[in-house]
């Protein structure tokens, strides 16, 4: 299958690589020449713009950081919408359902079908091809791209309704953010009381408190103090805000998620948007006067 791929960041580079390794003919574009070079060295073909990618392939995928960037790449000048060959735009980014519906309508006017297909599983999942892929859009079009999507993970058909995949992704990500925030507070409390953080995690993971933060994130990035999971606090803050906005539109109260948003906002304000998601523990540590570390 001829596939265009736009956005070769921490996630996108691995997904594009897996498509190449699966035998697909992949045309890539990124604003960074180094990222393009890494993929062409593996067999991909370089393009000079999103429109050029869309000239070369009927199916164009994108993995981009923010909704506004996705909108510009999909529908802006020299964007996918101007491509001569493209018939499907598969958005692997997290944009929220409102933006997904907006892009769907704009592309539909040019007879291009958008499939919003956000992914979950982090950089590790992208590298191994074990992502959860949440696809929504016309069933026949989703079926047409499913063989390619299977190269990056397990495909879940969410709905034919545009934006449904985005709603599913936001529900997933706020649970991930909540697990990280709650675990940070619990771990700092334990360490402040004199508990060994490694023993704490062993007990929690053998009991009912286990979650993605206790099973993976803390052991891998917090205890050693590396804070290098590969997903930024700023991007998670973006996802949490998108979820809160959608919940407000739907009339769903989210008091717990609002508290999670405050902690991530504090992390972004004090440490910076580019800090790793696991750095959310640091403002709590600073106020408690302890660090959750165990080399």
CATH code where residue 271 lies: 1.10.1040.10
Q: Please check whether residues 7 and 142 belong to one and the same domain.
A: yes
Task: Give the tens place of pLDDT for each residue, 138-189.
Answer: 999 999 999 999 999 999 999 999 999 999 999 999 999 999 999 999 999 9
User: What are 51-54's contacts with CB under 8 Å, separation 24+?
Assistant: 51/78, 51/79, 51/80, 51/82, 51/83, 52/27, 52/83, 53/4, 53/5, 53/6, 53/27, 53/28, 53/29, 53/80, 53/83, 54/4, 54/79, 54/80, 54/81, 54/82, 54/83, 54/84, 54/85, 54/86
Q: What is the pTM of this model?
A: 0.94
Distance between CA 9 and CA 14 in Å, rounded?
A: 8
Domain assignment present for residue 265? The answer is yes
Domain assignment present for residue 252? The answer is yes
Give residue 114's pLDDT. 98
Domain assignment present for residue 294? The answer is no
Give residue 83's pLDDT. 98
Expressed as residue numbers, the domain containing 64 is 2-162
Q: Please check whether residues 101 and 246 belong to one and the same domain.
A: no
Handedness of CA 121, 185, 253, 266 (dihedral sign): negative
Domain assignment present for residue 295? The answer is no
Distance between CA 212 and CA 210 in Å, rounded?
A: 7
Q: Beta strands of 72-162 (E only): which ranges?
A: 88-91, 113-116, 119-120, 131-136, 153-159
Half-sphere exposure (CA, 13 Å, Cβ side) for 67?
Answer: 15
Q: Please check whether residues 12 and 150 belong to one and the same domain.
A: yes
Q: Please check whether residues 179 and 149 belong to one and the same domain.
A: no
Distance between CA 50 and CA 42 in Å, rounded?
A: 20
Distance between CA 87 and CA 79 in Å, rounded?
A: 14
Q: Please check whether residues 174 and 66 belong to one and the same domain.
A: no
Within the chain, which residues score under 70 in pLDDT?
none
SS3 89: strand
Half-sphere exposure (CA, 13 Å, Cβ side) for 259?
Answer: 9
Q: Please check whether residues 153 and 39 belong to one and the same domain.
A: yes
> Given 130, 162, 194, which residue is the final one in a domain?
162
> Given 146, 162, 178, which residue is the final one in a domain?
162
Q: Please check whether residues 7 and 150 belong to one and the same domain.
A: yes
Catalytic residues: 169
Give residue 295's pLDDT. 83
| Structural domains in the chain (count) | 2
> Given 162, 196, 218, which residue is the final one in a domain?
162
Give residue 138's pLDDT. 97
């Amino acid at each position: 299958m001829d596939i265009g791929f736009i956005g070769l960041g921490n996630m996108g580079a691995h997904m594009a690589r897996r498509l190449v390794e699966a035998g697909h003919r992949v045309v890539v574009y990124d604003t960074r020449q180094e990222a393009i070079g890494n993929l062409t060295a593996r067999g991909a073909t370089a393009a000079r713009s999103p429109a050029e990618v869309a000239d070369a392939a009927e199916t164009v995928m994108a993995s981009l950081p923010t909704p506004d960037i996705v909108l510009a790449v999909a529908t802006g000048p020299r964007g996918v919408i101007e491509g001569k060959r493209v018939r499907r735009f598969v958005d692997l980014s997290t944009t929220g359902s409102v933006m997904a519906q907006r892009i769907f309508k704009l592309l539909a006017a040019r007879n291009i079908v958008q499939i919003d297909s956000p992914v979950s599983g982090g950089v590790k999942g992208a590298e191994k091809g074990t992502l959860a892929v949440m696809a929504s859009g016309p069933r026949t079009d989703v079926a047409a791209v499913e063989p390619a999507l299977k190269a990056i993970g397990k495909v879940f058909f969410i709905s034919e309704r545009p934006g449904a995949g985005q709603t599913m992704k936001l529900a997933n990500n706020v649970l991930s953010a909540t697990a990280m925030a709650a675990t940070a507070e619990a771990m700092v409390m334990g360490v402040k009381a004199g508990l060994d953080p490694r023993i704490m995690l062993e007990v929690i993971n053998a009991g009912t408190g286990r979650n993605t933060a206790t099973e993976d994130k803390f052991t891998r990035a917090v205890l050693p103090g590396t804070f290098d999971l590969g997903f930024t606090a700023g991007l998670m803050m973006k996802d949490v805000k998108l979820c809160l906005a959608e919940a407000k539109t739907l009339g769903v109260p989210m008091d717990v998620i609002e508290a999670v948003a405050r902690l991530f906002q504090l992390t972004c304000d004090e440490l910076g948007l580019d800090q790793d998601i696991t750095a959310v523990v640091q403002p709590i540590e600073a106020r408690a006067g302890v660090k959750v570390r165990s080399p």
